[in-house]
Structure 1
């Protein structure tokens, strides 16, 4: 299954008040695994970028001034070609969907329906109720390397979110399903404390051979002689056949 993880950086929080997208990044997944295909554009918002927002993503108006506008073919056409009709995965997806739809709406293009989006924030809150669910918090919880994340960045955050999404959907164990046998073996050997090997092993090992008779004929005859000394025939004797074996 193909999915697209995406993120945007913007001039603010409200597209209805004129805030615009300044960066968009996308990562292609096939069956939850990144393929290496990405889409990334910086975008001229055709307006100022407030200083408090620059502190978040580092993208100044000066830097963005020579970048293409959203309506340029190298942005909108290439973006729509990349995402196709596949599900879109985002953290706090409604925020990004609203901004993307505002840009598409200005151009008279079809909007992204809500049901097309997968929100990892909702998944995380359900999986870890009451726990912090920001991208940073999830990366720390899931041991995903954050050293490259000095500021927000649409492509970097999409790559981090792709790793988070994989973990939220089953993680390293599920990833083995998509490896060939040699790669899966290598991945299992590298997994700490042999957790995957233990899960793949049967709970109880099979016996090397079937059990034989529990008693020899001589032992059974001795047992019968002992039972005869008890007087009244025990109730359970009816379950014995002439050979001393339990009947079906």
Structure 2
């Protein structure tokens, strides 16, 4: 898997991109091969309008804060955001909201939409609702489900939410990958044996107690994700 992915989140002045609300924060973290690349884009953005108190209570961003930071307008950074996103798979929680604001802001500048930039979108909210029907699917709820520490999330900041969402996404999709996919995708055990030539001098080292405990903890996580259908334990008859 070599797809360039971007974990993305935004904060805004309100809920309605087509009724005058604007973006006040953008964050994106790049990931390839299920690993963060440390390439990121994080921007505070002056909305050119007031920020209602109820919105500021959610994300903690006030107009005074943005003016103190000398935050740019979207028109000043929109091209930078578009170039960062171009051609990537966007991982977003409640994607309709963020894509709606991005498309609105891009449209004001005459830039392409998210789709026009060649991006695809994966909505982790929709994924969670399919995986855990009838249960809470908020980012907080998913962090609790997957034992992800969210103690630093005082407000709904775009950057901290991206960091948490990255961990949630990896936990949600861990069951989609196995060792054969990662190391060549062999079709059968016979094929794998034929491909791997083990030298006679190769030493076999048994796992220690700490490694075995770590492995069991990992399988416990897979069981939680797959509702007790972890293939390793199922095929081993555990």
TM-score when scaled to structure 2? 0.74
Q: Matched residues in 2 for 1:25 and 1:138: separation?
A: 20
CA contact (8 A) 1:33 1:166 kept: no
Q: Matched residues in 2 for 1:29 and 1:47: separation?
A: 33
Query: CA distance change for structure 1 residues 134 and 170 in 2, over 3 Å: closer, same or farther?
Result: same
Structure with the greater alpha carbon radius of gyration: 1
Query: CA distance change for structure 1 residues 62 and 192 in 2, over 3 Å: closer, same or farther?
Result: same
What corresponds to 1:106 in structure 2? 108
Structure 2 counterparts to residues 45-194 of structure 1, below 5 A? 45-65=47-67, 66-72=70-76, 75-113=77-115, 116-170=120-174, 191=214, 193=216
Q: Matched residues in 1 for 2:40 and 2:17: separation?
A: 25
CA contact (8 A) 1:90 1:119 kept: yes
What is the DSSP-based 3-state SS (H/G/I as helix, E as strand, rest coil) of the residue aligned with 2:7? strand
Q: Matched residues in 2 for 1:127 and 1:139: separation?
A: 15
Deviation by residue 1:22-73 (Cα, 9 ceiling, x = unmatched) = 000001111222222211000000000001111101100111122000111x
CA contact (8 A) 1:93 1:118 kept: yes
What corresponds to 1:199 in structure 2? 232
Aligned residue pairs: how many?
197
What is the DSSP-based 3-state SS (H/G/I as helix, E as strand, rest coil) of the residue aligned with 1:147? coil
- Measured on the aligned residues, the alpha-carbon RMSD in Å equals 3.1
Unaligned runs of 5+ in 1: 180-184, 205-248
